[in-house]
Amino acid sequence: MPGTKLPKVGTTIFTVMSQLAAEHGAVNLGQGFPDFPVPGRLVDALDGAMRGGHNQYAPMTGIPALRNAIATKSERVYGHRPDADAEITVTSGATEAIFNAIHAVVRAGDEVVVLDPCYDCYEPAIDLAGARAVHVPLDPATFAPDWQRVRDAITPRTRMLMINSPHNPSGAMLSARDMATLADILRETGVFLLSDEVYEHIVFDGARHESVLRHPELRERAFVVSSFGKTYHCTGWKVGYCIAPPALSAEFRKVHQYNVFCTFAPAQHAFAAMLDEAPGHYEQLGAFYQAKRDRFRTQLLGTRLQPLPVPGGYFQLVDYSAVSDLDDAAFCRWLTIEKGVAAIPLSPFYETPPQGQRLARLCFAKNEATLDAAIERLAKL
């Protein structure tokens, strides 16, 4: 279309692959959603909230009970209690929070540094702000940042840096040393930080999620984004939140109130109850998903796909170079149509994909029966 504001944007790869999976009866390990139930007590709390009359607009920033529960959880997990009134905003999913944070502070002509591969909603939000995404590649083997390259990418026009840990699509995680280096890079700048932490509780092998909230110097300039959908297996409810200092939250809320105004009220009451009454859910989430990761990885070792390490999150990258020389988009189409398993190619996560990279992303947030059905087909490659 002439004059489009998003000339590089088509239909997101997640929608494309899910539609293809449905058309061909493929096992869908592409789009990142669980196929097992939401916790029963959360469903009961949602039902109770709706039957109890909580069906009208919520307060713009989120109901007080939920913001207080988020503050308590943050203190319990990260040792920092944000101000529930001035620093926590409930949003209609993490994607809305990311959009709001960018538009709260990024102006036309600014630059935003993103680390490739990165989630596909980042750059369109930057483009719509009239700014430019500056892509800094992560290590193609380990997906670790090259902090010198990040430092070199920051210019007087840089307004924001975006990080994501645990990382989608790789599962790589930032360490305490990474966070110290990041603080050093940003210290003498006016650059804001957006930390996408939607997989914060899906962390494996005894590791600790280094939330920006643990690091005072970073959190003073940061928007920290979280997702209830990822933590509670209810991606379709589209509820998340952003924690930011009062001045940044005030700007964030200006965008939020004219974007969606407020978020689905009954779910807010349900999440408030769940956080207060069942903290064990998020505390045990890493172990829950680690069992799935380990089982799926063992099964993959019986195929020609080579699984990469997964420190966090619920995605498994596989190297398919022993199976095919096709590029990743063509391979994932072939795998879906001809072999009956849907995966996500990595190239849509990059501005410039590494030459010769042969990686695909599989989601293991699935029932054992779903994963077993996929493995049965993948074993025939």
Q: What number is the average pLDDT over the span 127-145?
A: 97
Which part of the chain is CATH 3.40.640.10? Answer: 54-279
C-alpha to C-alpha distance for 129 and 105, rounded to whole angstroms: 9
pLDDT for 208-256, tens place per residue? 999 999 999 999 999 999 999 999 999 999 999 999 999 999 999 999 9
In this prediction, residue 8 carries a pLDDT of: 86
Find out whether 240 and 227 touch, Cβ atoms under 8 Å.
yes
pLDDT for 71-119, tens place per residue? 999 999 999 999 999 999 999 999 999 999 999 999 999 999 999 999 9
In this prediction, residue 9 carries a pLDDT of: 87
Q: What number is the average pLDDT over the span 360-365?
A: 98
In this prediction, residue 199 carries a pLDDT of: 98
pLDDT for 201-219, tens place per residue? 999 999 999 999 999 999 9
Q: What number is the average pLDDT over the span 131-145?
A: 97
Q: What number is the average pLDDT over the span 58-70?
A: 98
Distances (CA, A) of 59 to 64, 210, 230, 264: 8, 31, 23, 10
Q: Encoding tokens for residue 89?
A: 């905003």
Lookup result for tokens 């089982």? 295
pLDDT for 305-352, tens place per residue? 999 999 999 999 999 999 999 999 999 999 999 999 999 999 999 999
C-alpha to C-alpha distance for 298 and 314, rounded to whole angstroms: 15
pLDDT at 1 > cutoff 70: no
List, as one string, the DSSP characters of 157-193.
TEEEEEEESS-TTT-----HHHHHHHHHHHTTS--EE
Which fold would CATH assign to domain 13-31+284-378?
Answer: Aspartate Aminotransferase, domain 1 (3.90.1150)
Q: Where would I find the H helices in 301-367?
A: 328-339
Which part of the chain is CATH 3.90.1150.10? Answer: 13-31+284-378
In this prediction, residue 31 carries a pLDDT of: 87
Mean pLDDT estimate for the chain: 97
* pLDDT higher at 14 or 154: 154
CATH of domain 54-279: 3.40.640.10
In this prediction, residue 3 carries a pLDDT of: 81
